[in-house]
Amino acid sequence: MRPSGMRRLFHYVITLGYASAALSAQFCKMANLRVLVGVKRVIDYAVKIRVKPDNSGVVTDGVKHSMNPFCEIAMEEAVRLKEKKIAKEIIAVSCGPTQAQETIRTALAMGADRGIHVEVSGKEYENMTPLHVSKILAKLAQDQEASLVILGKQSIDGDNNQTGQMTAALLDWPQATFASEVTKENDHLKVIREIDGGLETVKVTLPAVITADLRLNEPRYATLPNIMKAKKKKIAKHKAADFGVDLSPTLEVLSVEDPPVRQAGQKVETTEELVTKLKDSGVI
């Protein structure tokens, strides 16, 4: 080959080298995401809830518990990101009593790489609120150098719908809540949110907090082989104090009551009769 040809070839090789290095650096950045997923142990959705006789709360002893359905969806999204090689590592975290470890194990069986259990039990657990949890998650996200925190939009016991938003605020990270679709585009995420008026598309830069809504995905079953493999994955144990979080109650629950029993309706034959009945009962 002539010298100039050699030089050109050399040039191409070098350019190719830079290009692939740049691409792989981008790729590495893409596949570098460490994802923190919050999973909460709640009373199973199919269980009939009973209020305690002293109205202090609901009966939890001996009642079937499982992972909050929205946390399952959050976990599934994280696993899909890992399968698409966007996420590198998934950490499942739960704040609660010893039994919360069962929920973390389910997350491990779904595909999380390791777990963190922040042990909170007894009275402290009863008084724990989204603000406490958000403070813990925020500190964890920083300690673990996570670039993405995915949570369920709300838990089916508290129905607070606060933890995701508070965590983002404490971290000063952007948030995309009620996500029904998450796509990675270059260095940001495009998230479609379910809002009252329909769908809203937002762009969030990383690091960010996402909360999962119902239609984001359909969570996989923990297959039996994965349940067995999850036994080898580690769960690190901590206390809230390890993260400098004080669990003193900020709210006091005064009473928990059943919703009013549904009254039987009445059928009427004419509109006039309807109006008369409404007037008689003082509704109008």
Q: How far apart are CA 86 and CA 106, in angstroms?
A: 22
Position 217 contacts another protein (CB under 8 A): no
DSSP assigned state of 283: -
Position 222 contacts another protein (CB under 8 A): yes
Binding mask 63-102 for another protein (x = CB under 8 A): ---x-----------------------------------x
User: Do 40 and 68 form a contact (C-beta atoms < 8 A)?
Assistant: yes
Alpha-carbon distance values, 159 to 8, 125, 143 (Å): 65, 16, 28
Position 60 contacts another protein (CB under 8 A): no
272 burial (CB, 10 Å; 0-12 / 13-18 / 19+) is: exposed
Binding mask 164-193 for another protein (x = CB under 8 A): ------------------------------
Q: What residues between 103 and 122 interact with another protein by CB under 8 A?
A: 105-106, 109
Site size for another protein (CB under 8 A): 15
Interacting span for another protein (CB under 8 A) from 29-37, 205-213, 221-229, 251-259: 221-229
Position 264 contacts another protein (CB under 8 A): no
Q: How far apart are CA 39 and CA 42, in angstroms?
A: 10
* Among 211, 91, 78, residue whose Cα is nearest residue 155: 211
Binding stretches for another protein (CB under 8 A): 66, 102, 105-106, 109, 221-229, 231
